Amino acid sequence: MIKFRELYEIKNKNTPPDLEKYCDKINKLRKEEKEEYIKRVRQREKMKLSFFRRNRSVIFISCVIILIAFYVFSINNGNYDNKKMSDSNTENTNEIKKNNKNSSDKGKKGKLKAAKKHTKKAKKTKLKVGTIVYFSGSVQYKTSNSKTKKNKVAPGKAKITKIKRKGKHKYHLIGIGSKSKIYGWVDGKYVKKL
């Protein structure tokens, strides 16, 4: 701030003594106001920091508890016991079955029945290479995807040598014993595990 004395000196005038005192008082008041404002700002900052300092243990403990809770729920999907988890899974499957029975959409029912049949077939026909089976059919093929029949064969015991899940004729069999002359690809519906 420019002092009034300097203004008077620039204009070559003599300053009155009262004006100087008045300007000094105004400058002092302004300095005091700045100091008070700075003190208030610092006090607010200290209060914020002191709140967190006083309550930091409580804040830390609550954060830890929340993290542990999320961890437990993410591992168990909200269930604390394995028994409860298995019970809830069976309840869910029972509800799904009930909803499927009550649904009026025939397309969904047909798909569900086909899926159930597929799972039943998969459970029944889990055959591996090297297992001994009984072949009840009468036709064998040259390749797993061929449409032409190789020749007619009598049913009998056979051993699985190859399996092609995506082929039309899934199993390659070799006959066991002197009676069976099976050697080729056959349909899965005629193969039964012994």
Tokens of 116: 């159930």
- Most confident of the following: 25-39, 94-108, 148-162: 25-39
CATH number of the domain enclosing 183: 2.30.30
List the one residue out of 191, 188, 130 whose CA is nearest residue 161.
130
Per-residue confidence (pLDDT) for residue 122, from 0 to 100: 46
Cβ-Cβ contacts under 8 Å for 60 (sequence gap 6 or more): none
Residues 170 and 93 in one domain: no
Segments forming the whole domain that contains residue 59: 1-102
Domain assignment of residue 119, yes or no: no
Residues 61 and 147 in one domain: no
Whether this model's pTM surpasses 0.95: no
Residues 60 and 154 in one domain: no
Give pLDDT tens digits for 47-97. Answer: 877 777 778 888 888 999 999 988 888 776 655 444 444 445 555 555 555
Give pLDDT tens digits for 91-130. Answer: 555 555 555 555 555 555 565 666 555 555 545 557 889 9
Q: What residue spans of 77-189 are helical by DSSP H? A: 82-102, 106-124
157-161 average pLDDT score: 93
Give pLDDT tens digits for 165-178. Answer: 888 888 999 999 87
Residues 79 and 173 in one domain: no
Q: What residue spans of the chain are helical by DSSP H? A: 4-10, 17-76, 82-102, 106-124
Residues 17 and 98 in one domain: yes
Per-residue confidence (pLDDT) for residue 6, from 0 to 100: 61
List the one residue out of 157, 146, 131 whose CA is nearest residue 187.
146
Quote the number of domains for the chain: 2
CA distance 160 to 185: 10
